[in-house]
């Protein structure tokens, strides 16, 4: 069963994705900058230290961000 923390995380991700898309749509940030922001966030989590469980959580977050980059979820890329 999902917790309030899970719902908060999903909501935060959806809001951030919408903001990145809006910034790209309104030409406030180009795609390369948006991808750069996402890569910086992933790298921060990849380099985080802590207990074994904290490190595992950070690596899972980094993997999720890298999947978002690979899938193009936060930028509207033309098909093909």
Asked whether residue 8 is domain-assigned, the answer is yes
Which pLDDT belongs to residue 20? Answer: 93
Asked whether residue 58 is domain-assigned, the answer is yes
Asked whether residue 12 is domain-assigned, the answer is yes
Q: How many domains does the chain have?
A: 1
List pLDDT tens digits, range 12-44.
999 999 999 999 999 999 999 999 999 999 999
Asked whether residue 80 is domain-assigned, the answer is no
Asked whether residue 76 is domain-assigned, the answer is no
Note down the domain range covering 25: 4-71
Asked whether residue 33 is domain-assigned, the answer is yes
DSSP calls for 12-70? HHHHHHHHHHHHHHTTSS-HHHHHHHHHHHHHHHHT---SHHHHHHHHHHHHHHHHHHH
């Amino acid at each position: 069963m999902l917790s309030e923390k899970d719902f908060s995380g999903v909501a935060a991700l959806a809001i951030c994705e919408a903001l990145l898309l809006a910034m790209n749509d309104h030409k406030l940030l180009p795609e390369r900058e948006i991808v750069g922001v996402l890569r910086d966030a992933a790298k921060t989590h990849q380099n985080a230290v802590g207990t074994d469980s904290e490190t595992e959580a950070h690596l899972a977050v980094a993997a999720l961000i890298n999947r978002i980059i690979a899938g193009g979820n936060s930028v509207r890329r033309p098909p093909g």
